[in-house]
Amino acid sequence: MATRPHGVLSRLPGSNHFHGDIIAALLARAAELDVCSTPWFEGLRLSPRDFRTGTEPPCLSYREVCCILQRALASLPGEGHGLDLGSRQTLSSFGVLGLAMLAAPTFREALQTGIRYAPISGAMLDLALVDDPAGIAVTMRMHRPDPQLEAYLCEELLSSCLNLCRGVLGDDFAPLRIELCYPAPAYAARYTRLLGPDVRFGCADNRIIISRHWLDQAMPAANPNSARQLATLCLSQMPPGQASTGIVATIEQRLALQPATCPRLSELADELHMTERTLRRQLQAAGTSFRTIHDRVRERTARRLLQDSRQTLAQVAAAVGFADVRDFRRAFKRWSGQLPRELRRTEAASPEP
């Protein structure tokens, strides 16, 4: 039976409960280190016997997972258990999602697939793709922040995902840098040995930045037919209500990477390994349309650029796909209810916090 990357918990569709793989991995770690794990479950409805090897791990509530994790990390000797456990993960650890990523045509599309379908194998860390001047960044945030657990979850997810990337792209794969919110631990040198030479602590967000030259790398097991079938399987496992909203978020992220271009809906459908008809139906189910999403992304980008007084209106217009400033003015008025210059005057007049 395939396990799951532990830093990303697997949520049961339509519920607030989680598979216990993350706890099973820590129990195995406790056995290796000759640590009694019984106290981890004091006052709970579970015991170590419920996580015996070869049986389906039980389902736990978010509170139960956090409680057991906190007790486990407090009792295990040594440090960096997330790095150790994550580095042991292989492609099979990611289940159907890992196979769907492996079958994607390019690494960029593999990342998009992983982010889009993260809910089928992730709940404690929310993942998102954002543009970065150097390439692309994957952000990682706890659904409910907990400083005691954040480092462990980030360590495990980063080391397991990088292990997967190196397995399919080669040992030369490395991120440009990794940025983490929390302070550098005493074993920070292990981060650089396992994750890459540029790991920074005390940053504004948890992010892994990947160079553009990796994004168009062909996946070695790329197979369009398999990718489409696996994406359909991933979609069927999405929690109710998240399939359509996940599509919207994916398209927003895709358009935000290149706001000046407007791909055809058929092109986006191909990237998402579905038919154009299916994509239209899912957007309708989410109560939106491709044009609405595209306009929202362009408005958001334009607002951000207009805050920079060094950017001319012509530059802002070009950045969101308008060759004519007059067309941009009319579009921005339609989106926001005000002209670009009015927004700039309002922003300039607003006192700084």
* Domains (range + CATH), the chain: 17-215 (3.90.1520), 293-349 (1.10.10.60)
pLDDT value of position 315: 93
pLDDT value of position 65: 84
CA distance 210 to 306: 27
* pTM score, whole prediction: 0.65
Closest residue by Cα to residue 51 from 87, 21, 86 = 21
At residue 348 the predicted structure's pLDDT band, cuts being 50, 70 and 90, is: low
Closest residue by Cα to residue 257 from 224, 221, 216 = 216
CA distance 103 to 107: 10
Closest residue by Cα to residue 184 from 201, 209, 168, 196 = 201
164-173, 182-191, 269-278: lowest mean pLDDT where?
269-278
The 3-class secondary structure across 179-244, one letter per residue, is ECCCCCCCCHHHHHHHHCCCEECCCCCCEEEEEHHHHCCECCCCCHHHHHHHHHHHHHCCCCCHHH
Closest residue by Cα to residue 45 from 29, 26, 61 = 61
Determine which helix (DSSP H) or strand (DSSP E) holds 291, and give its type and residue range. Answer: helix 290-306
Q: Quote the tokens at residue 37.
A: 């794990």
118-127, 174-183, 251-260: lowest mean pLDDT where?
118-127
Contacts of 76 (CB under 8 A, 6+ apart): 26, 29, 30, 33, 35
Tens of pLDDT, residue by residue over 128-173, are 777 788 888 888 887 677 877 899 999 998 998 898 888 888 888 9
Given a contact cutoff of 8 angstroms between Cβ atoms, the answer to whether 21 and 56 are in contact is no
| β-strand pairing of 177-179 with 199-200 | parallel
pLDDT value of position 84: 92
| Higher pLDDT pick, 214 / 135 | 214
Beta bridge partners of 135: 132, 211
Percent of the chain with pLDDT over 90: 32
Tens of pLDDT, residue by residue over 50-81, are 887 666 667 777 788 889 999 999 999 999 99
pLDDT value of position 125: 79
Q: Quote the tokens at residue 142.
A: 């706890």
The CA radius of gyration of the chain, in Å to the nearest whole number, is 22
Given a contact cutoff of 8 angstroms between Cβ atoms, the answer to whether 209 and 179 are in contact is yes
Residue type, 237: Q
Only one residue has tokens 């040995």, namely: 193
